[in-house]
């Protein structure tokens, strides 16, 4: 009887295991296979493991892991529920204790920046790197012959020279928010300073002239590596937005992007010969996690490190496998690159970022088109003043929390027509008085009247054209549109589309970043973002402060 | 009814893919298992994840759940969650002094020497023959490699200390530029000494050499060796938290050319036939013993510690995962068989000099001096 029962239970377990091996090439438990756990106190066979969902704060590029994580759920019973944020914002959240209890684990491209802060490092219990991708530069294949480059032998110095000679433009994500941009900045500073070890303040100073020349060629910026790839793809397919000759991004993002690009826009991935900074995607358990989450973490990491799973990760995501046993997936060259050291202190890391924002990058021209119609009265207007006012503060260690030195900021208040517009130049030195003046204008906003979104946007474009013509400069230029309602006066969506299409190239290169707020019409705003190559931000489900900060990555 | 000692069910499934699965469990039914949770050094993750080890522990009536953590962080983790863990199992006995052990006799079932791991082509550049007059901006440097007894390759740690003091670069070692991926200062890469015992012990070894071959025992010694330690740590930039991560990065080609870790990391892979052919294990000629030590935090840990100490199956498995069981120095290389080439059969006989570690208090001060956080 006992034997009979046992056998029946065995068949039940077999059914479970069957699910577990679906899609795997191995034919049974091997030395690297994870052991099903959860056998405490039971006499029967081991079930696959209690079903657990790990709450993970991670990078949005991990969406491409969905097929692997689906398999992992079947095999281990461990699911992953992501909340996406940028690597550096994530580091801030962890250090401030906002991840405690809210998440079990982190999964960012790198924990370096987080670990440089002892408070943040103290929140981490255990970490396991899961896959690898170096930050590389994807250059339009059609440009290679005119550049005279053998892609296997290009250095950062050569790339810098090509940019300085105006033979190459590129897009790169905001290093103060996104790990790919930050890694590229570290690589560039290391290469241009010829540093023999981890960067110091002196190395940054030494590299600054070359870096500044290099960043004159940066024509596209974004808060995340994913949006940068989308922007390139949209422009390559004939859509709106700025066209660039190269993209700085993870090797994996560039390889994945190539799968969807037309022949003429294909990118050749260059890992510069003088070294790269790689992401190793550590799945990281938080100290605050529960015992159940710790067990689930152990099961999931053991699964992800299996040879067959590593093979699939590399094939699906174009990232490189971690550890031994599995070679890189198809199309990923095996010749090694020096791994350049990441800064060893927050002081140096933040100094590099602040220098980039306030001195090295092309300055910005930023126009805020602000709905101050009657419906904004009260709480809505207060929130707007708070969100915009925070960008005029003084605490800004890594150059992402306030308007930058050298930035031109225009505020345009509108209702049924434009009420007023005021422009401020934030100076290179002692920016505080000008920042205070911007804040005074922000706080003076008052609400009344109807809502003429499209007409006001047209006015903003005309204003930008005037500013560009008067200054004769070359700035990152963008428009933020903040509204709480539907356009009910003035030009229509069709009128605006016609207006936009008639703009000269310098005008069409200006994206609008609309913010959804109050009773705003999502379709109208999404249409504006699509027409102009911008991106819609949601100010309703999250905090408006957060949205105004996020948009900074795109300005 | 016939007593069933073990039931093996094999079913051949004529599915589309034709997968054969075997399910085995020798212990059904049996008495309940004791659940034991612990913190382990990351270098033991593979060991505890292995089905064979889990089975051996179940045979000892134990259901063991582990979480890896830096050995130097364990006291902090335990303090933060006093009821979460039954035991801590760090990689060195030095890391245990701030943990309260219920057992008065420390259980040290196995150890693993600290080693430097590199690729063959990197080691070739360091060979004595090609080392004529190699110098850094601050002076000439003696050869870094020595041949030890027992076929082991030894790294001359004092020559390495001089190389770092002379700011020796890979460019000077490889003037032809045969290895484009070697760049910058010649430096051993470590984990973060603030969280990981392997790096802390590295600083202990280097402090001994920089202190005129004397264990650092006072503040004046700390002040004397501080500048070198600072250079060793701060030149590396951001540091990884665990030796397992350092080793995995190395194997993935995103690491640095010379990494400081436990021999078990490489030996465990070699046993599994997965250590890349061109991987070389260099034994430092000056080192500190690192005993993996079970610290009993609750009564539940007692049978676990006893099993780790006494179960011959677990000792044999430890050897197969690249650890050296206490009192049986040759067991690991014997377990590796022909895959043990390049590993010293008996590390006590290769000519490597073992120094005493500084007191835990002084070691902490050395770590702080190196990190510039004192």
What angle is formed at CA A258 by the lines to CA A281 and CA A109, rounded to 5 degrees? 10
Q: Tell me if B319 sits within 8 A of B325, measured CB to CB.
A: yes
- Could you report the per-residue pLDDT of A100-132, keeping only the tens digit for each? 999 999 999 999 999 999 999 999 999 999 999
ipTM: 0.88
- Pairwise CA distance, residues A522 & B133, whole Å: 72
pLDDT at A49: 66
Strand boundaries in A264-398, DSSP class E: 267-270, 278-279, 282-286, 364-371
Mean pLDDT of chain B: 88
Overall average pLDDT of the B83-97 stretch: 88
Rounded to a whole number, what is the distance in Å from the CA of B350 to chain A's nearest CA? 28
Q: Do A298 and B11 touch (CB under 8 A)?
A: no
Q: Do A39 and B275 touch (CB under 8 A)?
A: no
* Position B21 pLDDT exceeds 80: no
Burial A200-218 (b: 16+ CB within 10 A, else e): beebbebbbebbbbbbebb
A340 contacts in chain B (CB < 8 Å):
183
Q: Is B243 on the interface with A (CB under 8 A)?
A: no
A1 contacts in chain B (CB < 8 Å):
1
- Could you report the per-residue pLDDT of A37-67, keeping only the tens digit for each? 332 333 333 335 679 999 999 998 899 999 9
For residues A47 and B114, the model is more confident at: B114
CA distances from B232 to A253, A349, B161 (A): 35, 19, 9
Q: Is B16 on the interface with A (CB under 8 A)?
A: no
- Pairwise CA distance, residues A182 & A365, whole Å: 22
B275 contacts in chain A (CB < 8 Å):
324
Strands B87-89 and B34-40 come out as parallel
- Pairwise CA distance, residues A99 & A101, whole Å: 6
Q: Is B49 on the interface with A (CB under 8 A)?
A: yes
Strands A105-107 and A282-286 come out as antiparallel
Q: Do A35 and B2 touch (CB under 8 A)?
A: no
Q: Do B241 and A115 touch (CB under 8 A)?
A: yes
Segment (H or E) for A311:
helix A307-317
For residues A80 and A472, the model is more confident at: A80
β partners of residue A340: none
- Pairwise CA distance, residues A285 & A277, whole Å: 23
Q: Per the omega criterion (within 30 degrees of 0), is the bond before A325 cis?
A: no
CB atoms < 10 A from the CB of A470, how many?
A: 8
Structure tokens at A42: 């039971």
Q: Tell me if A307 sits within 8 A of A325, measured CB to CB.
A: yes
**If we measure between CA atoms, which residue out of B162, B168, B278 comes closest to residue B210?**
B162
- Pairwise CA distance, residues A493 & A515, whole Å: 17
Residue to test with chain A: of B183, B196, B250, B256, most A Cβ within 10 A? B183
User: Sheet containing A476-483: which strands, arranged edge to edge?
Assistant: A418-425, A408-414, A364-371, A476-483, A512-516, A537-538
Residues 132-151 of A with CB under 8 A from B: 132, 134
- Could you report the per-residue pLDDT of A379-430, keeping only the tens digit for each? 999 999 999 999 999 888 898 889 999 999 999 999 999 999 999 999 999 9
Residue to test with chain B: of A2, A6, A10, A306, most B Cβ within 10 A? A10
Overall average pLDDT of the B18-41 stretch: 66
Q: Do A39 and B33 touch (CB under 8 A)?
A: yes
* Position B77 pLDDT exceeds 50: yes
- Pairwise CA distance, residues A30 & B343, whole Å: 25
Q: Using a pLDDT cut of 70, give the percent of chain B over it.
A: 91
As a whole number of Å, the CA-based R_g of chain A is 26
Phi/psi at B159 (5° precision): -65, -40
Structure tokens at B293: 């030590």
Longest CA–CA separation in chain B, Å = 83
Rounded to a whole number, what is the distance in Å from the CA of B30 to chain A's nearest CA? 6
Q: Is A449 on the interface with B (CB under 8 A)?
A: no
pLDDT at B30: 58
For residues A12 and A384, the model is more confident at: A384
What number of CA atoms fall less than 13 Å from residue A37's CA on the CB side? Answer: 31
**If we measure between CA atoms, which residue out of B239, B223, B188 comes closest to residue B365?**
B223
- Pairwise CA distance, residues B110 & B119, whole Å: 27
Q: Tell me if A320 sits within 8 A of A131, measured CB to CB.
A: yes
Indicate the angle between helix axes A346-355 and A201-215, nearest 10 degrees.
Answer: 30
CB atoms < 10 A from the CB of B312, how many?
A: 9
Of B37, B184, B274, which has the smallest distance from its Cβ to A291's Cβ?
B37
Structure tokens at A101: 């209890």
CB atoms < 10 A from the CB of A383, how many?
A: 18
Overall average pLDDT of the A451-455 stretch: 96
Segment (H or E) for B11:
strand B7-12
Contacts of A42 (CB under 8 A, 6+ apart): none
Q: Is A25 on the interface with B (CB under 8 A)?
A: no
A33 contacts in chain B (CB < 8 Å):
51
**If we measure between CA atoms, which residue out of A73, A69, A76, A75 comes closest to residue A21?**
A75
pLDDT at A44: 32
Phi/psi at A198 (5° precision): -55, 145
Q: Tell me if A112 sits within 8 A of A129, measured CB to CB.
A: no
β partners of residue A482: A370, A515
- Pairwise CA distance, residues A480 & A157, whole Å: 36
Residue B132, class by beta-carbon neighbours within 10 Å (0-12 exposed, 13-18 middle, 19+ buried)?
exposed
Structure tokens at B188: 């051993």
A325 contacts in chain B (CB < 8 Å):
274
Dihedral sign, Cα of residue B60, residue B66, residue B72, residue B78:
negative
What angle is formed at CA B268 by the lines to CA B264 and CA B273, rounded to 5 degrees? 145
Structure tokens at A13: 């377990």
- Pairwise CA distance, residues B76 & A174, whole Å: 35
Q: Is A504 on the interface with B (CB under 8 A)?
A: no
Strands B62-68 and B107-111 come out as unpaired
Structure tokens at B345: 């059969």
Residue to test with chain B: of A341, A346, A348, A352, most B Cβ within 10 A? A341
Q: Is B244 on the interface with A (CB under 8 A)?
A: yes
Rounded to a whole number, what is the distance in Å from the CA of B118 to chain A's nearest CA? 14
Give the DSSP per-residue string, A82-107: EEE--HHHHHHHHHTTTTBTTBSEEE
pLDDT at B3: 43
Q: Tell me if B166 sits within 8 A of B45, measured CB to CB.
A: no
Q: Do B69 and A126 touch (CB under 8 A)?
A: yes
Burial A26-39 (b: 16+ CB within 10 A, else e): eeebeebbbbbbbb
CB atoms < 10 A from the CB of A555, how many?
A: 23
- Pairwise CA distance, residues B363 & A105, whole Å: 31
- Could you report the per-residue pLDDT of B148-169, keeping only the tens digit for each? 887 789 999 999 999 999 999 9
Least reliable range by pLDDT among A138-152, A268-282, B12-26 = B12-26
- Could you report the per-residue pLDDT of B332-353, keeping only the tens digit for each? 999 999 999 999 999 988 989 9
Strands A364-371 and B62-68 come out as unpaired
- Pairwise CA distance, residues B292 & B96, whole Å: 10
**If we measure between CA atoms, which residue out of A239, A481, A525, A298 comes closest to residue B64?**
A298
What angle is formed at CA A399 by the lines to CA A424 and CA A439, rounded to 5 degrees? 35
* Position A554 pLDDT exceeds 50: yes
Q: Tell me if A364 sits within 8 A of A478, measured CB to CB.
A: yes
Q: Which residue of A has its CA nearest to B189?
A: A341
pLDDT at A48: 53
Q: Which residue of B has its CA nearest to A18?
A: B21
- Could you report the per-residue pLDDT of A326-374, keeping only the tens digit for each? 989 989 998 999 999 999 999 999 999 999 999 999 999 999 999 999 9
- Pairwise CA distance, residues A307 & A323, whole Å: 9
Name the percent of chain B in helix, strand, coil, to the closest 5. 40, 20, 40
Distance of CA A277 to the CA centre of its chain: 16
Q: Tell me if A426 sits within 8 A of A406, measured CB to CB.
A: yes
- Pairwise CA distance, residues A51 & A384, whole Å: 43
């Amino acid at each position: 009887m006992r034997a009979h029962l046992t056998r029946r239970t065995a068949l039940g377990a077999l059914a479970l295991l069957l699910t577990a091996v679906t899609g795997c090439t191995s034919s049974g438990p091997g030395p690297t296979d994870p052991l099903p756990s959860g056998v405490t106190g039971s006499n029967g066979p081991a079930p696959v493991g209690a079903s657990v969902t790990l709450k993970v704060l991670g990078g949005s590029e991990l969406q491409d892991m969905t097929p692997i994580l689906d398999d992992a759920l079947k095999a281990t019973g461990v699911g992953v529920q992501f909340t996406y944020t940028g690597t550096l914002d994530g580091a801030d959240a962890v250090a401030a204790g906002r991840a405690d209890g809210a998440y079990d684990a982190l999964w960012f491209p790198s924990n370096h920046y987080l670990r440089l802060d002892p408070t943040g490092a103290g929140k981490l219990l255990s970490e396991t790197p899961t896959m690898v991708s170096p930050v590389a530069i994807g250059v339009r294949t059609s440009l290679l012959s005119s550049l005279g480059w053998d892609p296997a032998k290009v250095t950062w110095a050569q790339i810098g020279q090509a940019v300085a000679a105006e033979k190459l433009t590129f897009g790169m994500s905001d290093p103060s928010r996104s790990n790919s941009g930050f890694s590229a900045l570290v690589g560039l500073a290391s290469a241009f300073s010829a540093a023999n070890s981890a960067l110091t303040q002196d190395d940054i100073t030494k590299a600054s002239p070359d870096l500044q020349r290099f960043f004159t060629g940066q024509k596209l910026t974004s808060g995340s590596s994913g949006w940068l790839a989308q922007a390139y793809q949209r422009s390559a397919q004939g859509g709106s937005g700025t066209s660039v000759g190269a993209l700085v991004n993870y090797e994996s993002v560039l390889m994945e992007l190539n799968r969807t690009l037309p022949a003429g826009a294909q990118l050749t991935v260059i890992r510069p010969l003088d070294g790269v900074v790689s992401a190793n995607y550590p799945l990281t358990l938080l100290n605050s996690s529960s015992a159940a989450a710790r067990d689930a973490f152990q099961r999931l990491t053991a699964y992800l490190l299996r040879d067959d799973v590593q093979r699939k990760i590399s094939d699906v995501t174009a990232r490189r496998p971690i550890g031994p046993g599995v070679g890189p997936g198809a199309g990923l060259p095996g010749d090694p690159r020096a791994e350049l050291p990441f800064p060893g202190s927050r002081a140096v890391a933040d100094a590099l970022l602040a220098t980039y924002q306030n001195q090295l990058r092309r300055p910005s021209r930023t126009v805020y088109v602000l709905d101050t119609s009657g419906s904004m009265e009260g709480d809505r207007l207060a929130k707007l003043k708070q969100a915009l006012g925070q960008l005029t503060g003084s605490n800004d260690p890594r150059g992402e929390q306030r308007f930058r030195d050298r930035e031109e900021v225009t505020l345009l208040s509108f209702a049924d027509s434009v009420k007023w517009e005021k422009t401020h130049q934030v100076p290179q030195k002692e920016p505080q008085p000008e920042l205070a003046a911007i804040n005074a204008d922000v706080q003076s906003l008052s609400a009344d009247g109807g809502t003429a979104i499209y007409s006001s946007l047209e006015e903003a474009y005309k204003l930008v054209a005037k500013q560009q013509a008067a200054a004769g400069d070359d700035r990152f230029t963008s428009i933020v549109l903040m509204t709480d309602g539907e356009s009910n006066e003035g030009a229509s969506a069709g009128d605006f589309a016609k207006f936009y299409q008639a703009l000269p190239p310098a005008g069409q290169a200006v994206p609008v970043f609309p913010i959804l707020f109050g009773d705003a019409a999502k379709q109208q705003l999404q249409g504006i973002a699509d027409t102009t190559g911008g991106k819609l931000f949601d100010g309703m489900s999250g905090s408006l402060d957060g949205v105004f900060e996020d948009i900074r990555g795109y300005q | 009814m016939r007593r069933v000692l073990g039931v093996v069910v094999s079913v051949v499934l004529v599915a589309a893919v034709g997968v054969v699965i075997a399910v085995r469990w020798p212990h059904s039914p049996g008495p309940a298992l004791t659940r034991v949770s612990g913190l382990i050094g990351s270098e033991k993750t593979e060991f505890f994840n292995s089905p064979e080890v889990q089975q051996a522990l179940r045979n000892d009536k134990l259901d063991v759940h582990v979480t890896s953590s830096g050995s130097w962080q364990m006291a902090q983790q335990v303090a933060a969650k006093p009821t979460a863990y039954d035991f801590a199992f760090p990689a060195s006995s030095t890391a245990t002094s701030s943990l309260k052990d219920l057992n008065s006799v420390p259980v040290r079932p196995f150890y693993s020497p600290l080693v430097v791991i590199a690729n063959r082509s990197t080691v070739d550049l360091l060979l004595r023959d090609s080392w004529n007059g190699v110098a850094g901006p601050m002076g000439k440097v003696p050869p870094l490699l020595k041949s030890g007894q027992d076929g082991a390759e030894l790294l001359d740690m004092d020559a390495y200390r001089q190389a770092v003091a002379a700011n020796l670069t890979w460019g000077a070692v490889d003037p032809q530029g045969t290895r484009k991926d070697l760049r910058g200062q010649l430096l051993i890469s470590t984990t973060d000494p603030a969280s990981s015992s392997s790096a802390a012990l590295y600083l202990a070894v280097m402090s001994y050499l920089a202190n005129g071959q004397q264990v650092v025992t006072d503040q004046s010694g700390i002040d004397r060796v501080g500048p070198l330690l600072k250079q060793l740590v701060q030149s590396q930039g951001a540091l990884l938290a665990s030796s397992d991560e350092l080793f995995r990065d190395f194997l993935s080609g995103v690491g640095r050319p010379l990494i400081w870790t436990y021999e078990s990391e490489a030996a465990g892979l070699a046993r599994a036939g997965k250590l890349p052919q061109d991987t070389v294990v260099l034994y430092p000629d000056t080192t500190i013993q690192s005993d993996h030590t079970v610290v009993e935090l609750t009564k539940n840990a007692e049978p676990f510690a006893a099993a780790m100490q006494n179960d011959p199956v677990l000792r044999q498995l430890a050897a197969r995962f690249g650890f050296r069981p206490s009192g049986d120095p040759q067991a690991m290389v014997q377990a590796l068989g022909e895959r043990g080439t390049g590993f010293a059969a008996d590390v006590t006989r290769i000519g490597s000099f073992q120094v005493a570690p500084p007191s835990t208090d002084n070691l902490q001060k050395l770590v702080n001096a190196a990190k510039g956080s004192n």
